[in-house]
Amino acid sequence: MAIVDFERSHEEPDMAAESGVPYAPDVLPESRTLRRSVALTIGLVAAAWVGASQLRRARVDSTESAGQSVRGGVRRSAQVARIGTRSGGAFALHQARRVFADAERREALDTEFEMKTAAHIAESLGNMKGAMMKLGQMASYLDAGMPPHVREALAQLQSDAPPMSGELAAGVVEAELGKRPESLFAEWDPVPIASASIGQVHRAMTHDGVAVAVKVQYPGIDEAIRSDLGSADLLFGGLAMMFPGLDSGPLVDELRERLVEELDYSLEAENQRFFADTYREHPFIHVPEVVDALSAKRVLTTELADGVKFDEMLTWSQDERNKAAETIFRFVFRSMYGLRAFNGDPHPGNYLFRPGGHVVFLDFGLVKRFTEDEVEVFSSMLRSFVFEQDVASFRKTLDEIGLLPLSAEFDDQAVTDYFGHFYEWVLADEEKTMTPEYGSESVRRFFDASGPHGDIMKAANVPPSFVIVQRINLGLYALMGDMHATRNWRRISEEIWPFTDGAPSTPMSEAEQEWLRSQ
């Protein structure tokens, strides 16, 4: 059995590459913060070249308001190209302006540029909706290293993107359910209470006096997402050039399948019923009930839940934030290991919070169901790395699933240094605090091939079953980092992992154990 130093301190990240933007000699060292905001456009610029050939053959009017249908592959490619071109041109102009400025003026210019760029991207992606808007959503919460004002500009995409008109929403309801919402419901608010990448939510009251949330899909969003996904194989083909170990085919297929499923609210209703049934009467986890008679393929009606949004919860005491984090943690891993299923879209807009650790879980459109063999792989990796500290066994599993071949010439310490980061919070039986820096480092270890672990990243692959798992992990790390969540995560995990039988370790776990016995 190979024993490796699991407590060895991690290397300091390469500051010149931490933003994911290749270091350019003509970019001044003091503009590192600025390069973070430029990194927000990298994915958009990468997508822009996908549509370049279409743009050469067609001139289109890309003007598209939130109240219109979201359609047109060529139009959307044009919009993406305009975002990339405008951002790149603005950056060049900005660099020219700051050349002769003093240090104080440069900082002011940088902040001004960051805010304008982020606001433009947020507005553009918010109007585009679909897969491109999801890119902005993820950028808004995954990397805490972004300047706060940049994150704030993008955060509106989490639940407050530009909505469609109330009349358009009413038309979708009538088309799906056969009557106008004013007839279907005793009360109907045409102004949405939330709007996101695929649909928006309206408050209503049933004729039985039940307060409900009605999610209505944007007209034409199915065509928009399929248009975006039509370019996904080309985009990931470009990533494969940067990461030679990446097999982009299965990766694209997995993403395409999951996102297309998200368009069917009937499937989302089925997923939500499954989780609501499983967690019904849980002491601190709540999933709103589905109202089947008022739901269809493009309309989903559920119980209207109460609670505060993520940003307001962050103003609560650290004790309350710890309880909320423990609830999310338990829901994630109890669902994964116990139900072999989990919602693959963990971002701040998908939760409502109440005091005492009570969390309402929303949006079950992107649910991944795992096979028994897939869950066994996750368990095997945990056993070998965390319990046995047997890197040879761990590497054998990585080779078997196609994540990192044994033929790759890395010593055990290099593998431990890279993968140990993702197990850091459960390696020792001690209290650990998640930090924003930990979440940012997790993102870099996946996407910054120019950093200190770039060689391993270039040799590694992403098996299809890991696509949604890593989306879950990165989202979880980012949220809990913002919460500065503090617990003995090892003990909580041992209550949940299928190969351990840990005793209750917190007052919340004692309440959960009582609920489990009642099931």
pLDDT of 99-112, one tens digit each? 556 676 666 656 55
- 164, 200 contact by CB (below 8 A): yes
Task: Please state whether beta strands 351-354 and 358-361 pair in parallel, antiparallel, or not at all (unpaired).
Answer: antiparallel
Low-confidence stretches of the chain (pLDDT beneath 70): 1-102, 104-163, 197, 226-252, 254-255
Quick check: is 402 in a domain? Answer: no
Same domain, 151 and 238: no
Same domain, 128 and 241: no
Q: Give me the domain span that covers residue 239.
A: 231-258
User: Is residue 375 in a domain?
Assistant: no
In the block, residue with structure tokens 């649909």: 199
Q: Is residue 42 part of a domain?
A: yes
In a domain? residue 355: no
Question: CA dihedral defined by 354, 359, 362, 367, rounded to 10 degrees?
Answer: 170
Instruction: Clarify whether residues 36 and 129 are in a common domain.
Output: yes
50 and 151 share one domain: yes
| Same-domain check for residues 132 and 248 | no
Query: Has residue 193 been placed in a domain?
Result: no
| Residue 360 bridge partners (DSSP) | 286, 352
Using N-to-C axis directions, what is the helix angle for 221-230 and 73-98, rounded to 10°? 70
Co-location of 149 and 41 in the same domain: yes
Query: Which residue from 107, 172, 175, 115 is spatially nearest to 149, judged by alpha carbons?
Result: 115
Answer yes or no: do 137 and 239 share one domain: no
Both 34 and 140 in one domain: the answer is yes
Residues 73 and 154 in one domain: yes
Q: Which positions ≥6 away from 96 have C-beta within 8 Å?
A: none
Element (H, E) at 131: helix 130-142
DSSP letter string over 466-505? HHHHHHHHHHHHHHHHHHT-EE-HHHHHHHHSTT--PPP-
DSSP string of 64-128?
--TTS----HHHHHHHHHHHHHHHHHHHHHHHHHHTTS-HHHHHHHHHHHHHHHHHHHHHHHHHH
In 3-state terms, the chain is what percent helix, strand and coil (to 5)?
60, 10, 35
Q: Mark which of 158, 190, 221 sits at the end of a domain.
A: 158
Asked, for residue 291, whether it belongs to a domain, the answer is: no
**What type of residue is 100?**
F
Residue 240's pLDDT is: 58
Give yes or no: residues 46 and 154 share one domain. yes
Say if residue 118 is in the same domain as residue 236: no
The answer to whether the pTM exceeds 0.75 is no
- Residue 332: its pLDDT value, please? 93
Q: Pinpoint the alpha helices (H) of 364-519.
A: 372-382, 391-400, 412-423, 436-447, 454-459, 464-483, 489-496, 507-518
Q: Total domain count for the chain?
A: 2
In a domain, 109, yes or no: yes
Residue 242 covered by a domain = yes
